Amino acid sequence: MDVLPLVVTVDLIIGKRIGQHYILINQIGAGAFGAIFSVKYECDNVRKILAVKFEEEIGQFTFLHNEIVVLKSQAVYATFGPFFDVC
């Protein structure tokens, strides 16, 4: 049986562009299933600072897939941040 690490480490370079619209600012957290980074989102005239989660892919579906389902289902509650994008 594989044991997951207590904290995932993600080897990303601050300032690196992820996809077309995201630029890594800094790591703001990490846990057993992924690492959270603040990113600058830029698309046309829209500019936002967002939190993005990165994780290792384990099997066909990732833990992140389940989190997206939960976030979308909880979007009506003010205590949950809105789901923005997948890239």
pLDDT recorded at residue 61: 63
Span 3-24, pLDDT tens digits:
655 666 677 888 999 889 999 9
Enter the pTM of the model: 0.65
- The Cα–Cα gap between 42 and 23 comes to 8
Considering the domain 17-73 in this protein, what is its CATH number? 3.30.200.20
Question: Is residue 64 exposed (0-12), middle (13-18) or buried (19+ Cβ within 10 Å)?
Answer: middle
Q: Where exactly are the structural domains of the chain?
A: 17-73
Contacts of residue 45, Cβ cutoff 8 Å, sequence gap at least 6: none
Span 23-67, pLDDT tens digits:
999 999 888 777 889 999 999 999 999 988 887 766 666 677 777
- The Cα–Cα gap between 18 and 62 comes to 19
User: Which amino acid appears at position 52 of this protein?
Assistant: V
Q: Consult the annotation and say whether 53 binds a ligand.
A: yes
